[in-house]
Homo-oligomer: A and B are copies of this chain.
Amino acid sequence: MAVGTELLLGQIVDTNSSWIGEQLALAGVDSHFQTKVGDNLARIVLAIREALARSDAVIVCGGLGPTQDDITREAIAAVMNVPLERDDSIIESIRAMFGTRGREMSDNNLRQADKPVGAEFIPNDRGTAPGLIAPVGHKVIYAVPGVPHEMQHLISTAVIPDLVERSGERAAIVSRVIRTWGLAESTLAEQLQPRIDALDAAGGNPTIAFLASGIEGIKVRITAKAPTREDALKLIEAEDAEVRAVLGSIVFGVDDDTMEDAVGALLEERALSLGVAESMTGGLVASRLVNVAGSSDWFRGSIVSYASEVKYDLLGVPRGPVVSDQAAAAMAEGAARLLKSDVGISVTGVAGPSEQDGQPVGTVIFGFHIDGATDVVSIRLPGDRDRIRQFATITLLDQLRRRLLDRVT
């Protein structure tokens, strides 16, 4: 449970819960619900009660600061139906923390030395707010500060070890995400149905699930449970091979790999430099490529030729329609020439709102200049202006990836 009105208002994205969720999965602890609640005593109490009713343990993150709207301590005391007591030894450690930072402790910080009767403090050597372990019958509530590096420290060193000890059982859960691009989720699901059926028949471990990531393609998640992390990884490796055998070249990476990472790795391997000429994507292709670590080794730059005159005068596109095979080819060649790169790629088209050169909205033409030869590909994309641009960008990168895969290194 993440506590803070700013989370509900969307002023801060709750990345703490994602991090905790991942740590719990890695520790083999099932995590079934995550809740965000504002700085309101009655609602925090309600949310903790509901959470405790459906789970064996609840981790509360945030609301342990020194100000009047930090009320997680009070809420836990209310759930436990006990008063708060102040701990003098904690006051001293908070005062010492201020001392090392050369500041005076404010009276407000005395509140951070309060704990519900029957709860234990988790010492916090990274900040002033200690955590709490608060038993409720045979269940337990943990409280940790919302500051990410303090939270992470307390979760890793105190909460997860305590949870694992309480659980008695220990299994490692490991996931791998296979990144694919170019097939609809339903088609992918049909192709992998025989694997899913086989896994089910064999006991349902590992499991396969699908995650749609918008224009970034479909993620195939393999999750395995085993006594040790190594055993779980072996199950994952075996299933990874099966999934790739079914899916072939639509797989472009794993886990956090992006399409541009895949393109960058192939260019690096083949020692090729890349230049881009883009029109309707307006710099999106370049801005994705520079996200790749080490892209300066192979990315030369991009000519964002939004105006037709720039295409004619700078890139050498013959005067005439700029949404055409001829223009896309000349742009790819122009990019390689101006940017002095081994490979030149281009994209021109109609992002909308209205047609251009007699071509309807969604028309996109790509050019590829590799090893002295130029080819073009023309497609039609659905959606609004932004979506057409985003799709055109990743499609161009995927088309380049496929050409680089086909090219002998």
Residues of A within 8 A of B (CB): 4-15, 17-23, 25, 31-40, 43, 46-47, 50, 54, 65-69, 97-98, 100-103, 106-109, 126, 146-149, 175, 177, 184-187, 189-190, 209-214, 219, 221, 276, 278, 280-287, 289-291, 293, 295-296, 299-307, 309-310, 313-314, 338-340, 353, 380, 382-384, 386-387, 389
Contact = CB atoms under 8 A, between A and B. Distances in A.
A238 to B, nearest CB: 21
A65 B212 contact: yes
A135 B208 CA distance: 34
A12 B211 contact: yes
Contacts of A310: 300-301, 339-340
A36 B17 contact: yes
Contact of A10 (B19, B38, B282, B285): B19
B304 A301 contact: yes
Contacts of A291: 282, 386
A301 B300 contact: no
A9 B25 contact: yes
Contacts of A211: 4, 6, 9-12
A355 B97 CA distance: 20
Nearest to A381: B101
A383 B17 CA distance: 22
A98 to B, nearest CB: 8
A10 B36 contact: no
Given A33-B37, A186-B108, A214 B18 contact: no
A23 B14 CA distance: 16
